[in-house]
Amino acid sequence: MNEVPKTVWWDDVPCLIDQLRLPAMLDIVRCEDLNSVIEAIRSMQVRGAPAIGITAAYGMALAAKRSTAQTSSKLIEKLVKAKSLLDAARPTAINLAWATQRMLDIAQANAQLEPDQLRQRLLAEAETIRDQDEAMCRAIGQHGKTLLAQTRNVLTHCNAGGLATAAYGTALAPIRAVHEDGQPIHVWVDETRPFLQGARLTAWELQQAGIDLTLITDNMAAYFMQQGHVDCIIVGSDRIAANGDVANKIGTYGLAVLAKAHNIPLYVAAPTSTIDLQTANGAAIPIEQRSTQEVTHIGQQAIAAEGIKVAHPAFDVTPAHLVTAIITEQGIAYPPFAEQLHTMVEAANAA
């Protein structure tokens, strides 16, 4: 199978690839009500900052569809509630609250419509958010590939691919673009403990695309850098603060420190919907603490003694001074980031 279905789409209700079953099975989940959308995000059947934003937008459209409200103002009250439930599903990725806010803004701006017309308008907006995300990913690919001109070996962490977005990916977008141009490229894929997004998802996704990859455990990254086998690192992000500090999957900060020690560039690829100008710096980004069972177990299999203390911060923050460049659909930002990030967000909002 070479044609990977979309990550998230609407077919009467929000539908998504069940990312907990990959790569063993390509299962589809149909979310019949708001609670199942929230549960799909919380349990990480769908994950990756842009993908959970799109799912949440469809969740808002579903909440409107399921609501029996007879007036648009009552419908909007339901949407305010739905937004706060969806936003609480996962706290770190700003794309989630960004998407639900955009849906709420559209509802409020169209409050004069009849409820059924408003429901239609909301679904159209969710579809637009999905389509724009795919377009942004492709633009990230075109901008980002210019940074990879001399690059053969890229290391990536977690999954910032098509599965984490509408399609095509953020960190994987420049890699895909280079591959589509017929240039050789090889990807070191960190397995990404504890949830194994690299091993389960990125390796599968690159294999489907016919891109050369080698799967490694996270603790092998330093070794391959020391051996001179890593030309650059590309990761995605869940939230970029106004000063350029980057929250991403736990382990990214460690890679950034290693990259600095080995004089390897660290690129962050993300759509402008991941930039949070309201958050001044990384210290203000909430870090999701996930179930310790994700650390003590692989699947259903326990790998640690019962009753021990376990920690599971799901993300870390890489300070801006360790980031070589930030690639968005608007172009490439270099340090110092603050002004360029601001300009990029303004340009995206004006488009």
* CB closer to ligand MRU out of 106 and 241: 241
* CB closer to ligand MRU out of 7 and 67: 7
Residue 262 C-beta: closest distance to ligand MRU, Å:
21
Residue 287, judged by CB atoms within 10 A of its CB (0-12, 13-18, 19+), counts as middle
* CB closer to ligand MRU out of 14 and 50: 50
Residue 170 C-beta: closest distance to ligand MRU, Å:
4
Sign of the CA dihedral 93, 97, 98, 99? positive
Residues labelled catalytic:
238
Cis peptide bond N-terminal to 115, omega within 30: no
Count of C-beta atoms within a 10 Å radius of residue 223: 11
160 touches ligand MRU by CB under 6 A: yes
What span, in angstroms and rounded, lies between the C-alpha atoms of 250 and 129? Answer: 27
Report the candidate in 75, 176, 73, 59 with the shortest Cα–Cα distance to residue 129.
59
Tell whether 90 is in a known binding site: yes
Residue 224 C-beta: closest distance to ligand MRU, Å:
20
Q: DSSP characters for 293-318?
A: HHHHEETTEE-S-TT-----B-EEEE
Please identify which residue in 132, 153, 197, 272 interacts with ligand MRU, judged by CB under 6 A.
Answer: 197
Residue 62 C-beta: closest distance to ligand MRU, Å:
21
Judge contact between 173 and 137, C-beta under 8 A.
Answer: yes
* CB closer to ligand MRU out of 164 and 333: 164
Tell whether 47 is in a known binding site: yes
CA 76 from centroid of its chain's CA atoms? 27
Tell whether 49 is in a known binding site: yes
282 touches ligand MRU by CB under 6 A: no
| Residues contacting ligand MRU: total by CB under 6 A | 18
CA distances from 20 to 24, 195, 196, 298 (A): 9, 10, 10, 12
Site residues for ligand MRU, window 198-257 (CB under 6 A)? 235-238, 248-249
Where does the chain show beta strands of DSSP type E?
8-11, 13-17, 28-30, 153-156, 186-190, 212-216, 232-235, 239-241, 246-249, 266-269, 275-276, 297-298, 301-302, 315-318, 325-328, 331-333
Please identify which residue in 158, 177, 232, 285 interacts with ligand MRU, judged by CB under 6 A.
Answer: 158
* CB closer to ligand MRU out of 115 and 236: 236
Running DSSP on this structure, what letter comes out for residue 204? H
**Closest residue to ligand MRU: CB criterion:** 236
Residue 53 C-beta: closest distance to ligand MRU, Å:
10
49 touches ligand MRU by CB under 6 A: yes
Site residues for ligand MRU, window 306-325 (CB under 6 A)? 314
Rg of the chain, C-alpha, whole Å: 20
- Can you give the binding site for ligand MRU, defined by CB under 6 A? 47-50, 93, 158, 160, 164-165, 170, 197, 235-238, 248-249, 314
Binding residues: 47-49, 90, 197, 248-249
